[in-house]
Chains A and B, each alone.
Chain A
Amino acid sequence: MIKVEALTKRYGGFTAVDDVTFTARPGRVTGFLGPNGAGKSTTMRVMVGLTPPTSGTATVSGRHFADLPNPGLEVGVLLDASAQHAGRTGREILTIAQRTMRLPARRVDEMLDVVSLTDTEASRRVRHYSLGMRQRLGIATALIGDPEVLVLDEPANGLDPAGIRWMRDLLRGYADRGGTVLLSSHLLHEIEVIADDLVVIGNGRIVSQGTKAELLSAAGCFVRAADPQALSAALAAAGISAFPGGDGAVRADADPELVGKVAFSAGLPLLELRPADGAGLEEIFLELTSDTQRDGAAA
């Protein structure tokens, strides 16, 4: 379990992380979402003791990271797959982790096997690795101590579709066995597929958090009618807030059943009516972080 309480990190006058509080629970995958520069990586660095917080605390399994006697056995960390000495081989990087944690030497081969790096690839220097291979090596380093908690910053970056599927299955299985997984991403679809809980952060502040189901049901539904103006008017009259969803569609902040009833009583034939969970997370993400987006939230 990871517990972040009232965490704040300031750099001079700039507040990178502003009073962030959340919990990543065992048996669940917690997705940490936010636009670039929202404070995800800084929060994660504070969790693992690489960055001193200005105030607040982050604990793993009830203890500060620095107090863990052998952190690698309790927390698997991957913050940046490219942050490795380019002149070391993949196998050597795993061996260093294995020796630091005092694990049996066979763990290195087991991990290479888990992340599907071949012997030839493992004996190549990391300088020659693709980003996807570096991610696999980083995952192997995180998993080698068989920890209870995983902290992964953008682990799907650079993986091919098969790799992304593999990673998803790996993390799902990990959480199902009781592990705590916290992963950040800006790949919304990825998070939507894998996460059980979501923490959305923008400009260093948490803008929303809860289970995926809660957040997605809050997303309402997509509805499309032959006459969008009349539909919007009818929804407004029923007290349902609605936003243009592109392509003549409307996203309504209500469940499909209610929206269908409103349209029916207004005598409006519908072309489409569905829960907004498909593109839902993206909508939520853009809406929640619209104040903090660089490019403005195009609705």
Chain B
Amino acid sequence: MSTSTVDRVAVDAAPAAARVRRPQVVAVELRKMFDTRSGFWLMASIAIASLLATAAVVLWAPDEAVTYSTFATAIGVPMAVILPIVAILSVTSEWSQRSGLTTFTLVPNRGRVIAAKAYCSVAIGVVSMLLAMAIGAVGNLVGPALAGVHRVWDVSVQEALLIVLANVLGLLVGFMLGVVIRSSAGAIVAYFVYSFVLTAMAGLLASTQAWFRDLQPWVDFNYAQTALFDGSMTSTQWAQLGVTSIGWLVVPIAVGIWLVMRSEVK
């Protein structure tokens, strides 16, 4: 076996210079979010949905409502659906499409891959929101001119940032479901249950049960986020957002990553 020892010295020298590094992994994961047809159209749908929402406001909104906040609200609806799906698919496609077999063999440090997916998802979320707001701004340049009303810029920078934050949190819920469930269909269904069914049920419970009405802001992550759309946050509201995010994001993401590290990739 002396030859193998000699071989190894030669082999060791080369790869040491070319370790897999974090920037590579992040760049590759970002690329993987765009390089399939479904991925490409998912990203394109962010711009397309923003354009459609903007056009709808220009065409159909009553004249007095053609203000920037109407555009921002209209654009926010598709974003709240698309961005979590971006985060979900970036994680779950490794399992559902089984590309994880290659990904996790080339980068055995799974935590590094998952972290890269998280960075890329958040970056795409922020860029998408800025793009959507820019498209809405164009709508607000054109719309009032066509309607013959005054142009109203009624969203402050702070309000805009809070809206971006709300959408990034929604995206992180998608990411959380992705790492916990690791199946595209399952995670997407779970997201809709979370954002529509749970919201409706919590609303019903709050309207009928007094004890839950007081508790809701401290346990319902969706509800705690709605304050972000009101333009300003009290310190209590920040505290509620922080507390609910522990139960709905921090703990489940930690569990999900633990599962990802330990699970078998088949």
Contacts and interface: CB of A to CB of B under 8 A. Distances in A.
Interface of A: 1, 25-27, 45, 48-52, 61-62, 65-66, 68-75, 77, 79-80, 82-88, 92-93, 96-97, 99-102, 125, 141, 148, 178
Interface stretch (B26-34, B66-74, B155-163, B235-243): B26-34
A75 B108 CA distance: 12
A83 B99 contact: yes
Nearest to A180: B4
A87 B38 CA distance: 7
Contacts of B3: 26-27, 178
Interface size bucket, B side?
Answer: 35 or more
B14 interface: yes
Contact of A178 (B7, B20, B265): B7
Contact of A101 (B18, B98, B101): B18
B36 to A, nearest CB: 3
Contacts of A84: 97-99, 102
28 contacts: A1-B4, A26-B7, A45-B265, A50-B105, A50-B265, A51-B265, A52-B264, A61-B4, A61-B11, A65-B108, A69-B18, A71-B20, A77-B105, A80-B98, A84-B102, A86-B97, A87-B37, A87-B97, A88-B36, A93-B102, A96-B28, A96-B102, A97-B102, A99-B27, A100-B25, A100-B28, A100-B107, A141-B102
Given A74-B15, A83-B102, A101-B20, 15 more contacts: A1-B4, A45-B266, A61-B4, A69-B19, A70-B15, A70-B19, A80-B101, A83-B100, A85-B99, A87-B39, A96-B32, A99-B24, A100-B20, A100-B28, A100-B107
Main secondary structure of the interface of B (DSSP, over half): helix
A125 B37 CA distance: 9
Interface in B91-150: 93, 97-102, 104-109
A25 B4 CA distance: 8
Contacts of A61: 4, 7-8, 11
Interface in B49-93: 93
Main secondary structure of the interface of A (DSSP, over half): loop
Nearest to B102: A141
Nearest to A86: B97
Contacts of A86: 97
Interface of B: 1, 3-4, 7-8, 11, 14-16, 18-21, 24-25, 27-28, 31-32, 35-39, 93, 97-102, 104-109, 262, 264-266
Nearest to B14: A73
A174 to B, nearest CB: 14
A102 B24 contact: yes
A48 B105 contact: yes
B266 A148 contact: no
B4 A96 contact: no
A70 B108 contact: no
B35 A88 contact: yes
B101 A50 contact: yes
B174 to A, nearest CB: 19
